[in-house]
Structure 1
Amino acid sequence: MTQKRVLLSGAGIAGATAAYWLARTGWQVTVVEKAAGVRSSGNPVDVRGEAASVVRQMQLWPRLQEAATGVSRLAVLDAAGRRRAVVGTRQTADAGSEVEVARSVLAGTLLDAARDQAEIIVGDSIAALTQDAAGVDVRFEIGSPRRFDLVLGADGLHSAVRRLAFGPEPRFAEPFGMYVGTMRTSISGGDPHEVLLFNRPGISLSIHPAGGSPLAAFIFRSGEPYDHHDREAAKRLVRAAYAGKGWVTDQAVADWLVADDVYFDAVTRIVMPSWARGRVVLLGDAADCISLLGEGSSNAIVAAKTLADALAEHPGQHGAAFAAYEATHRRRLRSFHRRAGLISHFLVPATDLGLRVRNTGLRLTSLFARP
């Protein structure tokens, strides 16, 4: 029998995990990734719960533990830099069940695991998809056209596969009324185990030690429209939200205006009636995400394994496999979506009252957590 061929668009966390498991179950896997390099500015991410189990099965857990950030505390500061609360971010008992690592390290580790079994094409992207009953013809921006049995879109919030197979992004994107920007920064908190968090109503600035190369994260509320291709608009939005707000906001803004490796985008919810159309299916942020609130990386790992398992359980029946994957993973995401609003108000209280209530709760938590 001819080996079935699958194309994955996106070599990030979801795409790399799917590539590994699909190759393990007999697929001939090709991964195409537009970005030629790895962005270093993304905030560290957690791997926990079901995702940790998947990574253990891939024999990658020791590598992630070695690369762990070691952060265990969150310090909340006021405008003068004084500590208002310090709380633990993980318990000693969590050490074997969850890990925080740089996003780039996680994606690279997962992709390394797939390299021996998958073809990896870097610096190219999908330009057009044409489906028929037996397969998908793919035209690339640079490479020669090819034909695959299935195409998987794991190419993020602004997915090209979603646009080509399902329709324009605005049809599925719901703005959350917030923006997030991250970058490497010259600001150092001093303690390699502690994240610093500063808030004013509607804004937050955090400094993560990130193993000696600190990262700054701007998260703020705004209703101003934004085109993710417009770098100058990103600079303007951050400067307007943070300049003169206290603590080290002016220094952070100065770093932001000259940084050349940054991430900035609107916090967005992708809402789709179905993640599959014919022989094309989406996973990770391309399918369903709120692009900020803490569980995206773990959810992407679990989604990729769920999809690979479904295809293995339904050989030759991609429609049934896609339906099983979607039903299982949508159930898993429901509680996360219900928590999203609460998490956003914890990270970025919108009012003075909300900020005082949040800080009081953290102080009480830190008092009761003391031995």
Structure 2
Amino acid sequence: MSSKSILISGAGIGGLCAAWWLSRSGYAVTIVEQAATLREDGYMLSVSGAGLRVIEEMGLLPQLRQAGLSMGRHLYLDARGRTIMQFNHGKLMAQLAHETVLRTDLADILYQSLNDAVSLQLGARISSLQQDEQGVDVQLNNGHAQRFDYVIGADGFRSATRRMVFGPDVGFCQHLGMQAAAYWIDANTQLEDDMVAIAEPRRMSMYYRLGDKGITALHIWKSDQATPVAQDSRKDQLSAQFAGSHARVTDAIASLPSTCSIYMDALMQVHLPDWSRGRVVLLGDAAHCLSLANGQGASMALAGACCLAQELAADSSPAALQRYQQSMRPGVHALQIRGRKAASLYLPDSAWSFRMRNWIMSAMPKSMLLNYFLKSAQEEIHLAEHIQLRQLSKQAA
């Protein structure tokens, strides 16, 4: 091939960020995204640590801050509406370098930064690929065929690219024993604070007021179900899982219109011995999903995209893919261990353990409790800083 070319499967955070860095390294970049539009769900996420450094080096920090969401007081209630805990989350998190944004806003910031330097094909996906030592022959579902130097699978923890190259998900995906669902609710809903949570044994419902963006609901519950739930069955599943909860929860679910789009999936981690096979490499959740229970997923996708692009810019041989993995794996591994521990404590199984946790949280001096939350957030960011990135400024110039 006369020029270096890369196909990225997935126009998510990692895929868009990788396209930005790779296009500036001289690669001709094509992104295929099976959805007809850039993904419109995902709700809010936090960018910190290595991910925030990458955004800053891309010159996108002003846009990220402009899109930032301000989170104030958080209120935790039990199923009877009694207060378990209340604190100023915004004041606490102001002590850390981070930005909270809607996933759609971050994706749009990254997409707009590409400035037509990348070919984006919506409604397209890889139907087959074959590789040799020099490149990868790709056939798309729209009939288009092309040969690329590399293919990057950035298509989420249920990655079709991973299954195509590495085999079935069995053995790679570790279920954390929980499911999550999220959706938007009526913006006129009354909330006592910026975030109100209804905590119960084995399940929790959270409602976030996201400035003038509206109100989003997030539910998490204990479940071993691993297969995806069809969109037209998700409301019924939520109703069944949260039957008997606080009226705020059951009423909100019951009032969801039939056309409401509900995100719902299992909380999974992805564990692979290698993130690349030949000239196909995985990025973000496709390679090392951390899950909602952990956080740092977006930041690791940003850092991984930058790291992979840097290695390919320094050396366009497949050895670059191994260096990318070696740089990223220590931090990812530490975060995954932390995430599994957090998942085991997140939703107490029994009413007794739930009451005991609530008693400890209510009896503990607030200063001690807030210090615990702050140290936990600091530890998460510190683990993410294990990522070994090259000097960024020369790459972004």
TM-score normalised by length of structure 2: 0.86
Aligned partners of 2:231 and 2:262 also within 8 Å: no
Question: Within 2, Cα distance between the matches of 1:110 and 1:126?
Answer: 23
Q: Secondary structure at the match of 1:139?
A: strand
Q: Does 1:326 align with 2:332?
A: no
Residue number in structure 2 paired with 1:2: 2
- Report the Cα offset of residue 76 of structure 1: 0.4
Residue number in structure 1 paired with 2:309: 308
Aligned partners of 2:269 and 2:289 also within 8 Å: yes
Residue number in structure 1 paired with 2:67: 67
Question: Within 2, Cα distance between the matches of 1:259 and 1:203?
Answer: 25
- Report the Cα offset of residue 323 of structure 1: 0.8
Aligned partners of 1:189 and 1:207 also within 8 Å: no
- Report the Cα offset of residue 172 of structure 1: 1.6
The change in CA–CA distance for 1:281 and 1:217 in structure 2 (over 3 A counts) is same
- Report the Cα offset of residue 133 of structure 1: 1.6
Aligned partners of 2:178 and 2:267 also within 8 Å: yes
**Which deviations, in whole Å up to 9, do the C-alpha atoms of 1:116-158 show, x marking residues without a partner?**
3211111111111110121111100114111100000000011
Residue number in structure 2 paired with 1:178: 178
Amino acid at match of 2:172: F
Identity %: 33
In the alignment, structure 1 segments of 5+ residues that lack a partner are: none
Aligned partners of 2:175 and 2:226 also within 8 Å: no
Residue number in structure 2 paired with 1:274: 274
Question: Within 2, Cα distance between the matches of 1:27 and 1:365?
Answer: 55
- Report the Cα offset of residue 288 of structure 1: 1.0
Aligned partners of 2:209 and 2:215 also within 8 Å: yes
Aligned partners of 1:346 and 1:358 also within 8 Å: no
**Which deviations, in whole Å up to 9, do the C-alpha atoms of 1:80-136 show, x marking residues without a partner?**
334321123344773782110001111111122124321111111111111012111
**Which deviations, in whole Å up to 9, do the C-alpha atoms of 1:164-197 show, x marking residues without a partner?**
1111222422222110111011273536x72111
- Report the Cα offset of residue 276 of structure 1: 0.3
Query: What is the aligned length?
Result: 367
The change in CA–CA distance for 1:95 and 1:25 in structure 2 (over 3 A counts) is farther
Question: Within 1, Cα distance between the matches of 2:88 and 2:334?
Answer: 24
Aligned partners of 1:189 and 1:209 also within 8 Å: no
The change in CA–CA distance for 1:26 and 1:135 in structure 2 (over 3 A counts) is same
**Which deviations, in whole Å up to 9, do the C-alpha atoms of 1:226-282 show, x marking residues without a partner?**
531533553343222102211412123214573532211111121211110010000
Residue number in structure 1 paired with 2:391: none
Question: Within 1, Cα distance between the matches of 2:299 and 2:116?
Answer: 23
**Which deviations, in whole Å up to 9, do the C-alpha atoms of 1:305-330 show, x marking residues without a partner?**
111111122x2312x11111111111
The change in CA–CA distance for 1:336 and 1:255 in structure 2 (over 3 A counts) is farther
**Alignment RMSD:** 2.3
The change in CA–CA distance for 1:367 and 1:130 in structure 2 (over 3 A counts) is same
Aligned partners of 1:183 and 1:259 also within 8 Å: no
Please, which moves more after superposition, 171-180 or 24-33? 171-180
Residue number in structure 1 paired with 2:217: 216
Amino acid at match of 2:243: A
In the alignment, structure 2 segments of 5+ residues that lack a partner are: 371-397
Please, which moves more after superposition, 353-362 or 29-38? 353-362
Aligned partners of 1:157 and 1:285 also within 8 Å: yes
Question: Within 1, Cα distance between the matches of 2:112 and 2:71?
Answer: 25
Question: Within 2, Cα distance between the matches of 1:326 and 1:365?
Answer: 43
- Report the Cα offset of residue 3 of structure 1: 2.1
Please, which moves more after superposition, 361-370 or 139-148? 361-370
Q: Secondary structure at the match of 1:170?
A: coil
TM-score normalised by length of structure 1: 0.91
The change in CA–CA distance for 1:347 and 1:259 in structure 2 (over 3 A counts) is farther
